[in-house]
């Protein structure tokens, strides 16, 4: 497991670590659509996450890698959509800004749309709340099954 969320200047070195990766677990805070980065105070945090995701999913090194997207902090997102209009930060949002399902659907589509080749391996996604142990237990069971299934499928093709 490698945490790639650090300094921007270190990101170019990431790909050297990933020559035998079978799955990528990409964790993003679903509730940060109205916040900016600590390091520059201008870049939207969700936009930054989308840019990192785009770099990863479109790299040829990961063409045959399963991508599992965790949209964490769903509890905070649920509270935030009641008071903070996502359209103020993402003008392309067309749903009901105070509807949790509309916002979640939009977030997933934002990440899906970053993939240049839609025929790549599937993009799995899970909305999570890290402090909800039952939620995390179920999600990780599903993730384990997904990774196992993908690895078995890949072995059968070789």
Contact 126, 99 (CB under 8 A): no
Task: For residue 53, count CB atoms less than 10 angstroms from its CB and return exposed for 0-12, middle for 13-18, buried for 19 or more.
Answer: buried
Q: What is the dihedral of CA 154, 54, 1, 103, to 10 degrees?
A: -100
Extents of the domains making up the chain: 22-157
Q: What is the dihedral of CA 92, 130, 26, 77, to 10 degrees?
A: 0
CATH topology of domain 22-157: Rossmann fold (3.40.50)
With 60 as the cut, is the pLDDT of residue 151 above it?
A: yes
* Tens-digit pLDDT profile for residues 99-146: 999 999 999 999 999 998 766 677 889 899 888 888 778 878 877 887
Phi/psi of residue 116, each to 5°?
Answer: -70, -40
* Tens-digit pLDDT profile for residues 70-99: 999 999 999 999 999 999 999 999 999 999
Task: Provide the pLDDT confidence category of residue 6 given band limits of 50, 70 and 90.
Answer: low
With 60 as the cut, is the pLDDT of residue 1 above it?
A: no
Q: What is the pTM of this model?
A: 0.82
Q: Which two tokens stand for residue 67?
A: 């991508």
What pLDDT shows up at residue 105?
98
Higher pLDDT, 51 or 155: 51
């Amino acid at each position: 497991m490698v945490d790639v969320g650090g300094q921007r200047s270190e990101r170019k070195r990431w790909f050297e670590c990933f020559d035998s990766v079978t799955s990528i677990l990409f964790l993003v805070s679903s509730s940060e659509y109205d916040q900016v980065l600590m390091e520059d105070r201008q870049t939207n945090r969700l936009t930054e996450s989308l840019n990192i995701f785009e770099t990863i999913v479109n790299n040829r090194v990961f063409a045959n890698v399963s991508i599992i997207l965790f949209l964490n902090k769903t509890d905070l997102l649920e509270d935030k959509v009641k008071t903070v209009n996502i359209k103020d930060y993402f003008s392309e949002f067309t749903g009901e800004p105070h509807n949790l399902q509309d916002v979640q659907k939009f977030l997933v589509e934002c990440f899906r749309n970053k993939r240049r080749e839609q025929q790549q391996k599937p993009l799995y996604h899970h909305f999570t709340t890290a402090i909800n142990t039952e939620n995390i237990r179920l999600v990780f069971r599903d993730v384990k099954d997904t990774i196992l299934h993908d690895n078995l499928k890949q072995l059968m093709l070789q």
